[in-house]
């Protein structure tokens, strides 16, 4: 999917919403930017986790090669979020 955007005065590029959604990119996603054969190439760093909407709820989806969290790890993350 190709789309057109502009670079603002301080060098920022906005990734259009349709592309962000199609690629599962959310705020804070890590990207690499490189020049390749005279073109600007932007790629996601690693597989990265994605936040998607499933049945009206936001769900964090980890890459396939990620070990599942234990119940204790989930409890610890919940407690950290409450602090």
CB 31 within 8 A of CB 43: yes
Q: Which two tokens stand for residue 80?
A: 């950290």
Q: Which residues, 6+ apart, have CB-to-CB distance to 49 below 8 Å? A: 60, 61, 62, 63, 66
pTM: 0.50
Average pLDDT in the 19-23 region? Answer: 85
Which residue is it, tokens 């009206």?
A: 56
**CA dist 54 to 43, 57, 61, 77, 78, Å?**
25, 5, 10, 21, 20
What's the pLDDT score for residue 56? 92
The model's pLDDT over 40-81, given as tens digits with 9 standing for 90+, comes to 999 888 666 777 889 999 888 887 777 888 999 999 988 888
């Amino acid at each position: 999917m190709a789309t057109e955007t502009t670079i603002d005065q301080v060098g920022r590029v906005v990734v259009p919403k349709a592309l962000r959604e199609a690629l599962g990119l959310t705020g804070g996603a890590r990207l690499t930017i490189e020049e390749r054969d005279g073109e600007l190439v932007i790629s996601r760093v690693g597989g990265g986790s994605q936040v998607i909407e499933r049945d009206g709820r936001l769900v964090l989806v980890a890459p396939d090669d990620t070990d599942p969290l234990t119940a204790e790890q989930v409890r610890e993350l919940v407690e950290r979020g409450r602090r």
